[in-house]
A and B are shown apart, each in its own frame.
Chain A
Amino acid sequence: MIQKQVNQKAWFMVLPVFLIVAFSAVIPLMTVVNYSVQDTFGNNVFSWYGLGWFEEIIHSPRFHDAFLRQLLFSGIILAIEIPLGICIALAMPKKGWGVPVCLVTMALPLLIPWNVVGTIWQIFGRVDIGLLGHTLAQMGINYNYVQDPLAAWLTVIVMDVWHWTSLVVLLCYAGLCSIPDAYYQAAKIDGATRLAVFRYIQLPKMQRVLLIAVLLRFMDSFMIYTEPFVITGGGPGNSTTFLSIDLVKMAIGQFDLGPAAAMSLIYFLVILLLSWVFYTVMSNVGEESKGGH
């Protein structure tokens, strides 16, 4: 660990970043706070409403439903993508021409604009023109993501797995590549089984990157908006209306600024709490792994 020197002038180096982020973050956030405590009757006439919107949102079943759906979605996503990502990373080649091929093709979905990802899966899943939808229909499976909530959920989940598992794979792969060959040789001499190698050599080395993977995936799936919006528009009914979709519906669709702002703040506080946990856990793990050497 680098011994850091105390130097208050370092603030000048951070200043540009501070100013730009403050401009794009603090001013809009204040606008949101401003809306959240006021009521409007149109014509730009605003009146003080106190914490009324917050109480309303916290007690509204609509918010509860969206929140639960969001938690369920993020939970399922993590349960699938993390183990799958580890498996694929373990099976990836370490050298030869396979490495760049794997890395490039696997990173490809990450660089497709999110609404195009939505469009790809919207087309892919359609019963009339999509490969997936058509094949399932041929097999006699009743699959229609426009009308059936279960099919809509499955489509959105498979799409997210398609879109983001590579992130987990690449992170784990980076962790695995940092293990020196000597470790494996030592394990071989000791006659360690494949499972023991995974448990005692690979998993500890991947711990840090796995943490990043889990938390990044959790946050990003918690904020998901564009892809399900393009595929299902939050439907059928409200079955795939996640928090962000609900928020945009309320703020821009219905122009209910007060409740939308209150919901934004609650949403943001949840995320802030999570990122604080993330940050603390991350730095603790960092200290531990450094202390261990």
Chain B
Amino acid sequence: MKTKWIVPTLYIIFLLLPIYWLLNMSLKNNTEILSVFSLWPQDLTLDNYRVIFNDPSWYSGYINSMIYVSINVVISVSCALPAAYAFSRYSFLGDKHLFFWLLSNRMAPPAVFALPFFQLYSSVGLFDTHLAVALAHCLFNLPLAVWILEGFMSGIPKEIDETAFIDGYSFPKFFVKIFIPNIASGIGVTAFFCFMFSWVELLLARTLTSVNAKPISAIMTRTVSASGLDWGVLAAAGMLTIVPGALVIWFVRNHIAKGFALGRV
């Protein structure tokens, strides 16, 4: 049984090494990065992080990303809840086709949509707003949210609904008071996934923004090409993009495995 630990341990080391290397670089100054090859910082410095936290053009990127990700999570979860309920409980005209059509959008390559999105959101005056990115990310997050929630909801026996209606609950009251608490973990997992896919996406977010809503990941790429490769700051910015994800995982760690199976284990 002891040997069983070797495989996950090796795998975790493999996962953490590149991240450690980024952390290591973010704590060095540029001369040290380029001149000395060392496994840990010889001359520990937090200057790179200081640069980011003192420059609005840097830290506004984090705020922008947070704003559009939050808008997207709220839209996705609140719209997907009733839709997922409908898919899990009722059959209606064209339900299977609709479900498949929704899923096919999850499979649509963002590269296909980049340019048309730019034109669409420019023409409705949403270009360079947080709402534009949030709506664009709904393209793949909404179907995913419906899919996961439908999986979780199908696991709730229908008797619960029927009993509640017999007890005289109205539909909205039943939905909020009884049904939502029953799938609370499912909602948490769905929100987590919407957060995740909106947070990691760059192509659409970059195409749809120029200044006011520019995400942190796009600001990073710009700085790499423009200011002659400031490795330390780049590494620090990268480290900071990992932090929100790590925090969010901690909250859903008990349900994450079931969530990845889309609530269908």
Contact = CB atoms under 8 A, between A and B. Distances in A.
Contact of A279 (B7, B14, B103, B201): B103
B111 A128 contact: no
A6 B138 CA distance: 28
Report the contact-size class of chain A (Cβ under 8 Å from the partner): 35 or more
Interface residues of B, number: 98
Interface string A83-123: 00001100111000010111111111111111110011101
Contacts, number: 290
Interface string B93-123: 1010010101111111111111111011000
24 contacts: A3-B158, A4-B90, A14-B87, A14-B98, A28-B113, A88-B11, A100-B254, A103-B249, A104-B246, A105-B12, A106-B15, A109-B19, A123-B22, A124-B18, A129-B231, A130-B21, A131-B17, A162-B18, A171-B260, A178-B265, A243-B111, A248-B203, A271-B108, A275-B107
Interface of B: 4-8, 11-12, 14-19, 21-22, 25, 33-34, 37, 39, 75, 79-80, 82-83, 85-93, 95, 98, 100, 102-117, 119-120, 135-136, 138-139, 142-143, 146, 154, 157-158, 196, 199-203, 216-217, 220-221, 224, 231, 234-235, 238, 241-242, 244-246, 248-250, 253-254, 256-258, 260-262, 264-265
Interface string A156-170: 000000100111011
A2 B154 contact: yes
A16 B109 contact: no
A248 B114 contact: yes
Nearest to A15: B83
Contacts of A208: 261, 264-265
Interface string A1-43: 0111111111101101110110111011101100000000000
Given A3-B158, A17-B83, A108-B245, A276 B112 contact: no
A201 interface: no
Lowest 9 A-B CB distances belong to which pairs?
A: A111-B245, A28-B116, A13-B82, A10-B86, A174-B257, A10-B90, A91-B7, A13-B86, A244-B111
Given A14-B86, A113-B217, A167-B260, A123 B25 contact: yes
A125 B73 CA distance: 35
Interface in A149-203: 162, 165-167, 169-171, 173-175, 177-178
B interface, over-half SS: helix
A178 to B, nearest CB: 5
Interface string A116-152: 1001110110001111101000000000000000000
Contact of B37 (A20, A31, A129, A209): A129
Contacts of B245: 108, 110-112
B202 A271 contact: no
Given A88-B7, A108-B246, A169-B11, 16 more contacts: A6-B90, A6-B92, A14-B82, A103-B249, A105-B12, A112-B245, A113-B199, A116-B238, A167-B260, A173-B257, A225-B111, A226-B203, A257-B115, A264-B111, A271-B107, A271-B108
A77 interface: no
A154 B70 CA distance: 36
A interface, over-half SS: helix
Given A111-B245, A162-B15, A276-B100, A17 B80 contact: yes
A91 to B, nearest CB: 4
B199 A11 contact: no
B91 A108 contact: no
Contacts of B16: 105
Given A31-B119, A123-B22, A115 B220 contact: yes
Nearest to A229: B203
Contacts of A23: 135
Given A21-B139, A104-B250, A131-B21, A225 B110 contact: yes
Interface string A231-266: 000000000000111011001100001001000100
B138 A24 contact: yes
B202 A115 contact: yes
